[in-house]
A and B are shown apart, each in its own frame.
Chain A
Amino acid sequence: MDLTVRGVVRRFGAVTALAGVDLTVAEGELLTILGPSGSGKTTLLKVVAGFEIPDEGTVHLGTADVTMAPPRSRDVGMVFQNYALFPHLTVAQNVAFPLEMRRLPKPERTQRVAEALALVELTDYGHRLPRQLSGGQQQRVALARAIVFKPRLLLLDEPFGALDRKLRESMQLEVRRLQRRLRLTTLFITHDQEEALILSDRIAVMSAALIEQVGTPAEVYARPATRFVADFVGESNLLDGIATEGHGAEVSGLGRVQAGASTGAPGARATLLLRPEALRVGAEAAALPNRASARILETVFLGLSVKLRLQVEGGPEMLARLPLRPSAPLPVTEGEVVPLGFATEDVHVIRHG
């Protein structure tokens, strides 16, 4: 069911955790709240789950106003950061708990538990205790418990944080597949921008108690609305300059940079974003409209690509990322001075710099 959050404010004494948050999650959509710790994302989750009552604003599930409703009547499945499995109950008893609370008859309960455990591929683990399972398995039990009662909304609170990298990636994809298959409306909380890009239909980036931008992962990455979003999502080169006529801006050290869109009124401040992979180095740079010359300060080999830290002569330090082929040698060396270039359409103008 769709979720609508309108004008939600929550204060704790002098601290404002949510300063008027508006958000809509469409039916069947996975929306990620992405933000650093302290940005208010956990408070927002608690308001949606019913563990916090907002000082102002409303929360609707479908057409029902649940702002003041206690958690138990919201029909929201939640996976906690550390799973919060009940250690004194077996896996099957854990998964059956929400069904028991809904007073489902025993045969149906047993069947639904079996279905849910099958969904997370833990069919034979029903009689085990949570502590007899690995981290990934515990995570799946938590997920089964959150979806077994067919909730109207699924909440995931940084559920992958405790897993090692390999397992995390496979769990992310598994959750994604399950969510799509069951068409579960899902609100996902994370501070990990990579995770957000992988999983989300849409991302809402939060900072300082407010949502800065909502958009698809591609939009948020390629066209961030604010400087914070540009900086928080992915790696970025942020260039401060003065807008000139004809989609350009004067950036110290780089001269006139040509952007793909209007940079604003001439003479006004302009913030330009250039993703590291948009930079071209060496011979490729020659044909591009924006050019400079830079010294390579550092190269970081990343397997798929190489990351370069560059010092533009008389200008800013920049990051570049060049794709690599396993058979090819590194195209550059540290200390070398190379031509640098980028296309106009790769220069994004940040509206609220």
Chain B
Amino acid sequence: MAHARRQPRNLGRILLTIFAGLVFAFLMLPLLVVFPISVSSASYLQFPPPGFSWQWYQRYLEDPVWIEATIRSFKVAILCTVLSMGLGVPLSFALVRSRLRGMRIADRLVAAPIIVPNIIISIAIYSLFAKLQLIGVWYGIAVAHTILALPFVVILVSAGLRTFDEAQEQAAMGLGASWPVAVWRITLPQLRPSLISAAFLAFVTSFDELVIAMFLSGASMTLPKKMFDNIMLEIDPTIAAVSVLQIFLACICLGVATLFGRGVVPGTAGR
């Protein structure tokens, strides 16, 4: 009896596994194309590649323009992450905790930069930054990227904060903590998974961003802008090599995020 009843559940599980596998394949296939091309011996984008070679990685590492663009992208993404976290976390507290009616409306507006086409944002920022002489400087791009990254930070952190039991903060204050200390010692450690995901998303949003960078970077290119130029001008597999390196970076970030995002409670990771 028990055996017979288990049958349909197994079937469902198999179907679900197949479905998940297909979706996963859909997501992963582009990677399977990019990786072989990056180690191609051909001098143009060709699939399947005729032979094996590390030449495109070498080309990337030896070209100061690529390396400069990469370093610049890191700087931009790190500053963007710091800015969006520094602005987004306090903003989330204001949006979730405030009893003002205006905050409800503000809460809805936070997603606006996601909805507005990037190109519109870029044009608007361009004309503003041109006046401020922020075109062609790396921190100008970081500030502009913050506009794009902020909604992700606010959405993630607010969601975490909404499920947080505020009584704990009150308890901490009753036990002798000031509000900032209560937030630092009690609230933020429990929001750690949300905070790490938010920081990761902010970083990736900036590191991958092309449209704003095209408008604002001028001669000082970010990595996506350099990749775009590469496609426009030469179309060689260097771009595939760079893509693979970017994918590895993202994987490392994700790995770090899962490692520290898990075990909100100390001691559980070791068990």
Binding site for B on A (CB under 8 A): 49-51, 70-72, 75-78, 80-82, 84-88, 90, 97-98, 101-102, 129, 131, 145-146, 149
Contact = CB atoms under 8 A, between A and B. Distances in A.
A78 B176 contact: no
A163 B267 CA distance: 28
A84 B167 contact: yes
30 contacts: A50-B174, A70-B178, A71-B174, A72-B173, A72-B175, A72-B176, A72-B177, A75-B176, A76-B174, A77-B174, A77-B175, A78-B174, A80-B167, A80-B170, A82-B165, A82-B167, A84-B165, A84-B168, A88-B190, A90-B267, A97-B175, A97-B176, A97-B177, A97-B185, A101-B176, A101-B177, A129-B265, A129-B267, A129-B268, A131-B265
A78 B266 CA distance: 25
Nearest to B178: A72
B171 interface: yes
Given A86-B186, A88-B265, A88-B266, A102 B176 contact: yes
Given A72-B176, A72-B178, A101-B176, A84 B267 contact: no
The 5 closest A-B pairs by CB, nearest first: A101-B176, A84-B171, A98-B175, A84-B167, A71-B173
A97 B172 contact: yes
Contacts, number: 69
Nearest to A72: B176
B172 A86 contact: yes
Interface of B: 165, 167-168, 170-178, 181, 185-186, 189-190, 264-268
A87 B174 contact: no
A72 B177 CA distance: 6
Contact of B168 (A76, A77, A86, A129): A86
A290 to B, nearest CB: 51
B176 A88 contact: no
A59 to B, nearest CB: 14
Contacts of A98: 175-176
A101 B185 CA distance: 11
Given A71-B174, A146-B175, 12 more contacts: A51-B170, A51-B173, A71-B173, A72-B176, A72-B178, A84-B165, A84-B167, A98-B176, A101-B181, A129-B265, A129-B267, A145-B175
Q: Which of A70, A75, A87, A145 has the most CB of B within 10 A?
A: A87
